[in-house]
Each structure stands twice: as C-alpha cells, then as structure tokens.
Amino acid sequence: MTSFSLEEKVAVITGGSRGIGKSISSRFAHHGAVVHILDVDDESGSILAKELSANGSDVYFHHADVTDQPAILELFEKIYQTDQRLDILVNNAGIAHIGKLENTTEDDFDRIFSVNVKGVYNCSYAAIRYLKDRGGSIVNMASVAASLGISDRFAYSMSKGAVLTMTYSIAKDYLDDNIRCNSISPARVHTPFVDGYLKNNFPGREEEMFEKLSQTQPIGRMGKPDEIAALALYLCSDEAAFITGTDYPIDGGFIRLNS
C-alpha cells in the first residue's frame, strides 16, 4: 500500500467542484477513494466527476444545498445505502462576505451563518451515524480569520470561528467511536473566487491588486488549492491516525509572522 492511500474508503466532499474543493476531490480520487462531490454548481460538478471517472476513479456528483437539512439527510442515507460505508467527510462548502459590523445586514449575517455554520452542522449531523460504524475522519475548512482579527470580515470571521469550535466539540465527543475531527485554516488561496473578486472590484488593476494581496502573506504569495488538498489528504489518511481535535493553519506565515 502506498503512503496516504485512501483505497476502499468512501469520501464525501462538500463544495467539491471548484477551487479548493475541486483539488481535494481530485487528489482523493487519485489516491483511491470513492468520492462523492456535493455542490450547488451542477455544471462544474458534473464535468469534474466525468473527468475523474474517465481516468478510472469512482467519482459521483450530487446536487446538494448544505443549508437544507432534510435533503442532506436523504442524500447521505442514499450514499451510505449505495456504498455500505462512509469513512471521510470534508466540510469545504462555504461563502465569503466583506464588511464590518455596521455594514453587515441581517440578511448577510443569516446567509453566511446558513452556509458556513449550519452547512457544517447539517453535513456532520447526517454523516456521524454512518461514521460510527467503523470510525473515520471529518475535516472542516476553517480560516485564519477564526484565529485573529481581519479587517472587514465580521460575519465571515464569526462563521469560521464557529467551524473551529465545532471541530473541537466533535473531536471530543466521538473519541470512543474512533472518529477523528480536525480543521484546516488557510490564509489567502488563489482560486477562481479571487480572480472574480479582483475583476469585479478592481477592473484594470487586477495584476496590481493580486500582487498586493499576495504580499500580505509573509511567504510572499498566495496558497495553491493543491497545497490545501495535500493537507486534507494527510488528515484523512491512516498516517494521521494519532491526530484529532487540532486546527492546522496553512497560511504562509500569516498568523505568526505578520507583525
């Protein structure tokens, strides 16, 4: 068996068709997992599943709104009945919001909470009964915003702080069930979201602003989705069997070296 093998493991990855989620889905499939991609983007999800399946992997796409608990419960039951096991859940689905307290509306706050917090709860709640069968791993996507103050990220920081503390609670409560739960806290990662943000907010200045944002990481660049995926793979593999209840910053030195 090769290192970091996910052979014979069944993984569910939310928000798994784009950006970081796409890289996680691809890497898990490459390392032998049966991958179920959950996303609201039908086009991207279907294309990715077909591409990975064409390369010999077992990958399936499911349209899923993580805020809809009845639909999520039904979907996880369907996945379990099909594969007769569930080993890995990666709670990656999330949305961003820019704004401080005074310009965050109630609708903004509720939307962020519904996806970033309730979505993690819904999927973890749906998965836990199946993970208890034989143990497994949950990885939650938090953020450096959960651990330190970032300007104009009030609601987003709130949501990722909740993800972080849910991680600790799940890890504590399910030790005896051999379920590990950890979180990953990226700093800025170069995804299509970043490109879209720059295009919409700084037309004609995209390259300048990209460089400026890159330099906020002490290492001098943004992270790459594949780098986050590599950490997720490790945390879900048997090589990480001694790790639970831990948050992993992957931030180019952002938390400790930005002074």
Indicate which residue of 80, 121, 156, 174 is catalytic: 156
Q: Is 94 helix (H, G, I), strand (E, B) or coil?
A: coil
- Amino acid at the residue 246: T
Is pLDDT at 85 greater than 80 in this prediction? yes
Query: Can you tell me the mean pLDDT for 61-81?
Result: 98
> Would you say residue 156 has pLDDT above 90?
yes
Cα separation, 25 vs 231, whole angstroms: 13
DSSP class of 153 = B
Instruction: Determine contact, residues 244/181, Cβ cutoff 8 Å.
Output: yes
Query: Has residue 258 got a pLDDT over 80?
Result: no
Q: Rounded to whole angstroms, how far apart are CA atoms 141 and 183?
A: 6
Query: Which two tokens mark 213?
Result: 């944002």
pLDDT of residue 86: 98
Banded pLDDT at 193 (limits 50, 70, 90):
confident
Question: What does DSSP assign to residue 237?
Answer: S
Which tokens is 49 given?
A: 């599943």
Confidence of residue 2 (pLDDT cuts 50, 70, 90): confident
Average pLDDT estimate for 46-73:
98
**Which of 1-5, 125-129, 184-188 comes out lowest in average pLDDT?**
1-5
Active site residue 156: yes
Domains of the chain and any CATH numbers: 10-187+225-254 (3.40.50.720), 189-222 (no CATH)
User: Residue 236's closest CA among 67, 16, 10?
Assistant: 10
pLDDT at 259: 59
Across the strands, what pairs with 12?
36, 89
Confidence band for 250, pLDDT divided at 50, 70 and 90: very high
State residue 133's pLDDT score.
94
pLDDT tens figures, 217-248? 999 999 999 999 999 999 999 999 999 999 99
Type of residue numbered 156:
Y
169-187 pLDDT, tens digit per residue, is: 999 999 999 999 999 999 9
Task: Output the CA angle 25-29-31, nearest 5 degrees.
Answer: 120
Summary mean pLDDT of the chain: 96
Long-range contacts, stretch 157-161, CB < 8 angstroms, 24+ apart:
158/109, 158/112, 158/113, 159/94, 159/112, 159/113, 159/115, 159/116, 159/117, 160/116, 160/185
Whole-angstrom distance, CA of residue 256 vs CA of residue 259:
8
pLDDT of the residue at 1: 52
The span from the CA of 192 to the CA of 225, in Å, is 10
DSSP 58-70: -EEEEE--TT-HH
**pTM to 2 decimal places:** 0.95
Of 211, 137, 147, 231, nearest to 181 by C-alpha is 137
pLDDT at 188: 94
Q: Nearest Cα to 182, choosing from 123, 245, 92, 251?
A: 245
Rounded mean pLDDT, 90-118? 97
Q: How far, in Å, CA of 119 to CA of 222, rounded? A: 26
pLDDT average, residue stretch 52-68 = 97
